[in-house]
Amino acid sequence: MEAVAQGGWLEVITGCMFSGKTEELVRRLRRAVIAKKATIAFKPGIDTRYDAMAVVSHSGFSFNAVPIDNPVALLRRIEDAEVVGIDEAQFFSPEIVDVVKELTRRGKRVIVAGLDLDFRGEPFGSMPVLMALADEITKLHAICTVCGNIATKTQRLIDGRPARYDDPVILVGGLESYEARCNIHHEVPGKTLKLFKE
Ligand SMILES: [Zn+2]
């Protein structure tokens, strides 16, 4: 049987795109509901893909989630919840860190899911801090679309070609897509490591 902490506990589920983070978050939230825990989930207001009210994963599992823009607003919405899920945490402003600390201090079981790295392969938003604070971390993997090896990176493609390091995050024109890639096949043209400059 899976051991689950009762409260005052932070779990982080992370990994690249297509690694199943949201499925894992939804799985844990559903089990909390079966255990008759008051359960609530949140996601950033900007994530509007598929459904404004649901945490929706690529494979279609869902759990109703409240979209919020400011993490501090989350504290006003938790009411008597014992288990709090937070999806796409990398998109929240830095206040999310103190909000999560406050939730665990109040005895909540907090389950955070989010991308550890952006398409450049660099730490994403507050995820590194949340991972350091976590009582338990699950790092999930995907499969490299080039070689079939384990993938830990998110490849951004623009018109089918690897996006450059300095390409704008919001693209005007051009067709954008994402794939999971291993370290060998993750390509970011224009990226240089400081150590090896000059
Ligand atoms: Zn590969």
Tokens of 82: 């014992």
For residue 150, how far is its CA from the centre of ligand 1 (angstroms)? Answer: 7
Q: Is the pLDDT of residue 172 over 90?
A: no
pTM of the model: 0.89
User: Tens digit of pLDDT for each residue in 118-138?
Assistant: 999 999 999 999 999 999 999
CA of 185 to the centre of ligand 1 (A): 5
**Each residue of 35-54: pLDDT tens digit?**
999 999 999 986 555 555 56
Q: What is the mean pLDDT of residues 158-178?
A: 87
Q: Is 156 helix (H, G, I), strand (E, B) or coil?
A: strand
Catalytic position from the list 11, 24, 88, 179: 88
Measured in Å, residue 198 CA sits from the centre of ligand 1 at 29
**Phi, psi torsion values for 28, nearest 5 degrees:** -70, -40
| The domain over range 150-196 is classified in CATH as 3.40.50.10470 | no
Residue 186 CA to ligand 1 center (angstroms) comes to 7
Nearest to 122 by CA among 151, 153, 92: 153
- Residue 88 annotated as catalytic: yes
Q: Where in the chain is the domain with CATH 3.40.50.300?
A: 9-140
Residue intervals of the chain classified under CATH 3.30.60.20 are: 150-196
Residue that is written with structure tokens 């690694």 in the block: 19
Which CATH number is associated with domain 9-140?
3.40.50.300
Alpha-carbon distance of 97 to 112, in angstroms, equals 11
Coil, strand or helix at 27: helix
